[in-house]
Amino acid sequence: MIVDAQIHAWRRGDGGAKDPDGKGVEAEDLLAVMNESGVDAAVVVSANSIYDLDSSFAVETAARDPKRLRAVGPIRLDVDDPVGFVEEWAADERTSGLRLVLRGSGNADAILDPRHLAAFDAVERLAVPLCVWAPGEVALIEALARRHTGMQLVVDHTGVDASKPMTGRRLLSDGASVIALATLPNVKVKLTGVPALSAGPYPFRDCWPWVEEILAAFTPERVMWGTDWTRTRDVSSYAESLGWIAESGLLTGAERDAVMGLTAHRLFFR
């Protein structure tokens, strides 16, 4: 089984500069590229840069084929009843995990704010995976993981700034603090957007040492592959976003099964 742990969609006309032809990326487009590459299922993560806190289109997309698609949307700490929001999300068969984006959002302190404790308690109690993109905020992720030891936390994009290429040496340096999270058993990591981190062409070999560090620290059972497509489609095709690791030899046997799909399927397709 192959499961893409992070893929994005947006409605025709919503993409702006990300979608100059205005065609959008909708459910049929995602399923088409998945079928071409032999990908069984995918986690549709709401496109934060387009929809901000509105996850409705991701949910709409997942509803087109709930056996193969599940939605992950932003946790709403801004609503009158954030606990009720988490409970409704957990009960919806189209949805799976929630996501907390801290980079550039101005709400990095949300993790530590006592007003939000009940919402995070609900995430833990209802076994809703919480994806976190917070490059440079590893200490906050650690604080959340230690306070909620039963919560399943997923660090997006290997915990580094996925918006720009890095040399292999810089990846190892900037990501050193992420490796410390491996001591916390409730923390998992996504290998998403790796092609966008590379300063070289496919198969992005300059990133392989960093991937090996992640695999060694967290073990393959706590690591999930994903494309971060369509954000990365200017860097690599969907097939290349799969092939860089599937054909790399970095994984064999049970390791490959876990990273390429089983862990994500168990977590997001409950």
- 180-210: pLDDT as tens digits: 999 999 999 999 999 999 989 999 999 999 9
**Contact of 178 with 158, CB cutoff 8 Å:** yes
Mean pLDDT of 79-84: 95
Mean pLDDT of 148-173: 86
pLDDT at 228: 95
> Which of 120, 35, 41 minimizes the C-alpha distance to 85?
120
pLDDT at 112: 77
Mean pLDDT of 231-254: 94
* Structure token digits, residue 18: 């990300």
Helices (H) and strands (E) in the chain — how many of each?
A: 13, 8
3-state class of 225 per DSSP?
strand
pLDDT at 103: 64
Domains observed in the chain:
3-268 (3.20.20.140)
Beta bridge partners of 100: 132
pLDDT at 104: 53
Provide the mean pLDDT of the chain: 92
